[in-house]
Chain A
Amino acid sequence: MRNFDIVVIGAGHAGAEAALAAARKGHSTLLLCMSFGTVAYMACNPAIGGTAKGHLVREIDALGGQMGINADRALLQIKMLNSAKGPAVFSLRGQEDKKLYSELMLDTLRRTDNLTVEEGEAVAVTAEDGVVRGVRLASGEEISARAVIVCSGVYLRGKLITGEYTKSSGPSGFPPATQLTGSLAALGLPVRRFKTGTPARIYRDSIDFDKMEIQRGENTDRFSFMSEVSTFEEEPCWLTYTNSETHRIIRENISRSPLYNGSIHGVGPRYCPSIEDKVMRFADKERHQIFVEPEGLHSEEMYIQGMSSSLPHDVQEKMYRTVAGLERCRFAKYAYAIEYDCIDPLALLPTLETKAVRGLYLAGQINGSSGYEEAAAQGLMAGLNASLALEGREPLVLARDEAYIGVLIDDLVTKGTEEPYRMMTARAEHRIKLRQDNADMRLTAKGYAAGLAGEERMARTEKKRAEIERILAAATLAVPREAAARIMRRGGEADLSKGLAVGDLARRSYVTADDIAGVLPFVCSREALDAAVVEMRYAGYLRKQEAAIAEQRRLEEKTLPPDIDYNSVTALRIEARQKLNKIRPLNLGQASRISGVSPADIAVLIVMLGRKTEGDGRNNPA
């Protein structure tokens, strides 16, 4: 029997990061995929990053993951979103060459020591006495493993739906995995059914781009802290709109939509509405934006963002052809909805290990999330934590005030989700602190300590940190009178009679990083300067958030023993007892975020904890 430390099932964005993390930490790892074509395949839009997702990519990178590095190498264009709306919400988005990205990831995986990448379908996870033993393949082969990470994406009993037509399938025509669900259910994991969708791919040569607005990138920045900005061959995107004719066709054919006639049962995401959803729900909107994005450099296929649909093919053809520039379009792939099995993430620990089976981890869409970046982030954390557990080390659980990854996983395992979960900056309550510019400052030391981030990355981070600290220490220095007067005149402000400190100057919204560079008595790197100026500008808000964080931290530090029977704590309300028994939070902070657990319930737990500690003390003969 073949024997591995860790087996990863599925080689999508979650599986690839999980396998890389495990193998890079020195564990013998097997990565199984249905076919090599599915490796890090972007089944939906040809883009990585975007609001909040760009933060996730930076964080994955800071911890020592691969997504950012490969995304930088497969760019078609890159842009900083929200650049006028404050550094906390700056978000990088890159258009990507799908095929190249997939090939780069496969290449990275194949060149990683300790890692075996293989085509093969896992049909069962085997376990004994609540501990994972390995996996069984469709071929009948049994493989033994000390940890198994399931990253099955939308492949589990995948069902493709367009109009009246349904077909058992994975995304983009890849085969589905039909048997693994049964095995997971038998291990006690609660199975659910979610739904998502994708728009059509249209042949490039059938599009009239003259009727659309061109959208170019900015090429100013990169995802990875290890990448340098350089030139590459850009591909533009195109903007066009739906119109009243498009909407009329949709309304007339709405009864043929499986979402409206009831043949789709899965729960779809609100943030990823089909065009029929948008038209029906926002009837007063005269038009909806359509972005036409290249699937790759000189690729024949164009992705029609904003036109996801599960209407029948003939209706799709009619409605697409009402859009300016798409009048004579030919379909390479029709839009479809897809239903798939996933697991209620409340069945997981914050390490992404299942509560039911020790050594079994889940990551990505199987946990009810959506998005390449969300998946990759979970894959990385599952791979890291499975490895740390094998090493007998403490797990790495990122807090909500440390990373978007922390928010993502905490939301999933504490609050659960009733639809595919997408990361949004609105979900991060400590947004001012969790910026994409400081992901390295927040996380690289942790990734390094966990044995994933390398020496070079760590050295770069520490150098930048030292520079930032030097600049921040200079915040109290007085700005030379003439320099201050010149900058302030430009901002329309009167010259102050008193001297102005560097930090005071930085707080003014019209003052740029270049201005600050000009008044510092030393030279520093651009990235350190940018980061330090943000810190100075947001000092007041950061202090405010730090105070809130410190308060929450005190609760996070009070761990709840795993063996409490909440039903016996009669002072708790019944709803709280049930929720606590189901979720079994690890500490008071996590308990406080469970819906249905009130502050009074937390007070009861605090007192109970106090008693328990005291009791333990008595049982210990001194």
Chain B
Amino acid sequence: MNTIAAVSTPAGAGGIGIVRVSGEDALGIADAVFVCCSAGDESTRDALASSPLCMHFGEFVAEDFRDRGYAVYFPAKKAYTGEDTVEFYLHGGVRIMRGALDECLRRGARLAERGEFTRRAFLAGRMSLADAEGVADMINAESAAGLRAAYRLMDGSVARAINTVQAKLLDIMAGLEAVLDYPEETEDEVLPPLAENVTAVLDDVNALLATARQGRMAKYGITAVLAGEPNAGKSSLFNALLGDNRAIVTPVAGTTRDTVEGSVECDGVRINLVDTAGLRSSADAVESEGIARALRAAEHADVVVLVLDTTSDSAREYDFGEVPVFRVRNKCDLTSYACPRMFGCYAVSAKEGVGVDELRRGIAALYREGKTQGGEVITSERHLSALYRAKSALESAVADINNTADCVLVNLREAYDALGEITGSTASEAVVESVFSKFCVGK
């Protein structure tokens, strides 16, 4: 039974959010994404396995962010699904939950289908009638019509992009299969270079995966973190960015992070602003901790707005990794400093409202810049999960490309079927069809 993962708490901001991972590789995935603080030399796997049903404090380490929280291991006999299960209790909120889920998917879990935890519970003989009825209601509401509607609503360009990738893969597979099933009749067939073609498909899948970040922006908005030294004017810029626009959603204060958040719509894109209040401490002793917090917030941002005070000449540089940085010189009303007109460089006056609109639009424009040429953007977690599995299968294929065709095809089929969960086309049917349409075989 392969391993599935999903966010188990309702969508939206909450104090705590839970990501649940169930299946035989649950501990392996936990081992890859979570570091137990108390573990010492012991691996996370061993720490969790040696004390199941206990909360282990530690850090969730994703590709592009970290978060402190707890992990709990439920051995198969004690778990709801009847399989090894690990639950992560992290800080709530859409971005952390999605990020944590993505990381589990990247590490080999498959996104759970609607009701799948319960379905597994049933298959493991762990569900009562009452539970079953609950699932029935859910499926009645969700199934069929819902799925079809979702498919129809799916961005046409995504469907086209994935169909194109699948068609390329099918070409490769049909060539290999034709030769396996008709060895004597295909002796004079010249097949295109295998390694090169599989790598090209892998590149396509990677390009689609890269759009997922844009997809998250479309769905959940762009997260912009305001960072900078004390008194640079971050808070007034924060208020100016929100306040100029009437479409303020809800400024939420007082999360554990001591950050202030607020949302605003601009050019049809939602911007989630995060003011890193921690940086306002001025004493040197706590400055390092404050910067650390700001950096952590910035790690899972889509953009960092680094606020600089035009009137002071601090030249301190920060490392925000791969997150794009907008350098904003505030208080431009007090000097005659002219900002060089280049990407990500703005001169504003939060106090006077000068340049704020341009900055806001600059942030919103990030969404469009990240799109691929065809404009397709992966927005669905289900698609993302399928693409991750296709990627992993294709990587295995490339790594073992010199093996015999029967083995290479195991990986290619897996990739094809993963993509097929999006397009609905499965390998067995399609390959046979394709062999006969492309090759002149048969007696």
> Interface digits, B133-168 against A, CB 8 Å rule (1 contact, 0 not)?
101100110111001000000000000000000000
Residues A600 and B177 in contact, CB atoms below 8 Å apart? no
- Complex: how many Å from CA A551 to CA B119? 13
Contact residues, A506-559 vs B (CB, 8 A):
509, 538, 541, 544-545, 547, 550-551, 554-555, 558
Asked if B336 CB lies within 8 Å of chain A CBs, one says no
Asked if B180 CB lies within 8 Å of chain A CBs, one says yes
> Interface digits, A268-301 against B, CB 8 Å rule (1 contact, 0 not)?
0111110000100110010011010000000000
Asked if B182 CB lies within 8 Å of chain A CBs, one says yes
- Complex: how many Å from CA A305 to CA B435? 20
Which residues of chain B are within 8 angstroms of A273 by Cβ–Cβ distance?
440, 442
Residues A51 and B182 in contact, CB atoms below 8 Å apart? yes
Cross-interface CB contact of A509 among B135, B403, B410, cutoff 8 Å = B403
Asked if A34 CB lies within 8 Å of chain B CBs, one says no
- With A431-B406, A598-B144, A610-B132 as given contacts, are A604 and B139 in contact (CB-CB < 8 Å)? yes
Q: Nearest-CB distance from A87 to chain B (Å)?
A: 8
Residues B183 and A82 in contact, CB atoms below 8 Å apart? yes
Asked if B181 CB lies within 8 Å of chain A CBs, one says yes
Cross-interface CB contact of B441 among A85, A271, A425, A429, cutoff 8 Å = A271
- Complex: how many Å from CA A610 to CA B185? 51
Residues A603 and B119 in contact, CB atoms below 8 Å apart? yes
Residues B132 and A611 in contact, CB atoms below 8 Å apart? yes
The closest CB in chain A to the CB of B24 belongs to A547
Which residues of chain B are within 8 angstroms of A571 by Cβ–Cβ distance?
136, 139-140, 143-144
The closest CB in chain A to the CB of B127 belongs to A610
- With A88-B406, A541-B407 as given contacts, are A281 and B440 in contact (CB-CB < 8 Å)? yes
Asked if A381 CB lies within 8 Å of chain B CBs, one says no
Q: Which of B428, B435, B436, B443 has the most CB of A within 10 A?
A: B443
Cross-interface CB contact of B181 among A52, A305, A547, cutoff 8 Å = A52
Residues A607 and B139 in contact, CB atoms below 8 Å apart? yes
Which residues of chain A are within 8 angstroms of B428 by Cβ–Cβ distance?
426-427, 429
Q: Nearest-CB distance from B397 to chain A (Å)?
A: 11
Contact residues, A564-600 vs B (CB, 8 A):
571-573, 595, 598-600
Which residues of chain A are within 8 angstroms of B143 by Cβ–Cβ distance?
571, 573, 600-601, 603-604
Residues B139 and A611 in contact, CB atoms below 8 Å apart? no
Cross-interface CB contact of B123 among A84, A545, A554, cutoff 8 Å = A554
Q: Nearest-CB distance from B179 to chain A (Å)?
A: 7
- With A45-B443, A600-B139, A603-B115 as given contacts, are A85 and B410 in contact (CB-CB < 8 Å)? no
Residues A426 and B435 in contact, CB atoms below 8 Å apart? yes
Residues A81 and B183 in contact, CB atoms below 8 Å apart? yes
Which residues of chain B are within 8 angstroms of A271 by Cβ–Cβ distance?
436, 441-442
Asked if B207 CB lies within 8 Å of chain A CBs, one says no
Q: Which of B132, B135, B139, B180 has the most CB of A within 10 A?
A: B180
- Complex: how many Å from CA A466 to CA B376? 56
- With A271-B436, A598-B144 as given contacts, are A86 and B404 in contact (CB-CB < 8 Å)? yes
- Complex: how many Å from CA A424 to CA B139? 37
Q: Nearest-CB distance from B6 to chain A (Å)?
A: 15
Cross-interface CB contact of A538 among B113, B142, B180, B407, cutoff 8 Å = B407
- Complex: how many Å from CA A608 to CA B2? 24
Residues B132 and A51 in contact, CB atoms below 8 Å apart? no
- Complex: how many Å from CA A551 to CA B116? 13
Which residues of chain A are within 8 angstroms of B24 by Cβ–Cβ distance?
547
Residues A610 and B122 in contact, CB atoms below 8 Å apart? yes
Cross-interface CB contact of B443 among A306, A550, A555, cutoff 8 Å = A306
Which residues of chain B are within 8 angstroms of A432 by Cβ–Cβ distance?
406-407, 410
Asked if A89 CB lies within 8 Å of chain B CBs, one says yes
- Complex: how many Å from CA A282 to CA B133? 56
Residues B133 and A270 in contact, CB atoms below 8 Å apart? no
- How many positions in chain B have a CB within 8 Å of any CB in the partner chain? 51
Q: Nearest-CB distance from B215 to chain A (Å)?
A: 23
Residues B147 and A598 in contact, CB atoms below 8 Å apart? yes
Asked if A606 CB lies within 8 Å of chain B CBs, one says yes
Cross-interface CB contact of B410 among A87, A541, A603, A610, cutoff 8 Å = A541
Q: Which of A285, A288, A599, A601 has the most CB of B within 10 A?
A: A599
The closest CB in chain A to the CB of B135 belongs to A607
Asked if A308 CB lies within 8 Å of chain B CBs, one says yes
Cross-interface CB contact of A86 among B127, B407, B436, cutoff 8 Å = B407
Asked if A252 CB lies within 8 Å of chain B CBs, one says no
Which residues of chain B are within 8 angstroms of A210 by Cβ–Cβ distance?
none
Asked if A493 CB lies within 8 Å of chain B CBs, one says no
Asked if B282 CB lies within 8 Å of chain A CBs, one says no
- Complex: how many Å from CA A285 to CA B441? 12
Asked if B334 CB lies within 8 Å of chain A CBs, one says no
> Interface digits, B60-92 against A, CB 8 Å rule (1 contact, 0 not)?
000000000000000000000000000000000
- Complex: how many Å from CA A545 to CA B113? 22
Asked if B300 CB lies within 8 Å of chain A CBs, one says no
Residues A611 and B129 in contact, CB atoms below 8 Å apart? yes
- Complex: how many Å from CA A426 to CA B180? 8
> Interface digits, B408-419 against A, CB 8 Å rule (1 contact, 0 not)?
011001100000
Residues B180 and A85 in contact, CB atoms below 8 Å apart? yes
Residues B2 and A51 in contact, CB atoms below 8 Å apart? no
- With A45-B443, A427-B428, A571-B140 as given contacts, are A85 and B179 in contact (CB-CB < 8 Å)? yes
> Interface digits, B115-128 against A, CB 8 Å rule (1 contact, 0 not)?
10001001100011
Q: List 29 A-B contacts (CB under 8 A).
A: A51-B182, A86-B405, A88-B406, A89-B406, A271-B442, A291-B184, A425-B181, A426-B180, A431-B406, A432-B407, A432-B410, A541-B410, A547-B24, A554-B1, A600-B147, A601-B143, A603-B113, A603-B114, A603-B139, A603-B143, A606-B122, A607-B122, A607-B135, A607-B136, A607-B139, A608-B136, A611-B133, A611-B136, A614-B128
Q: CB within 8 Å of B: which residues of A?
A: 45, 51-52, 81-82, 84-89, 199, 269-273, 278, 281-282, 285, 288-289, 291, 305-306, 308, 424-427, 429, 431-432, 509, 538, 541, 544-545, 547, 550-551, 554-555, 558, 571-573, 595, 598-601, 603-604, 606-608, 610-611, 614
Known: A509-B402, A509-B404, A558-B123. 20 other contacts (CB 8 A): A81-B184, A84-B404, A85-B179, A85-B404, A86-B403, A86-B406, A88-B406, A89-B180, A282-B440, A306-B443, A424-B435, A426-B181, A427-B432, A429-B428, A431-B409, A432-B406, A550-B1, A573-B143, A606-B123, A608-B136
7 pairs of A and B residues whose beta carbons are closest in the complex: A86-B404, A86-B406, A600-B143, A88-B406, A610-B132, A282-B440, A271-B442
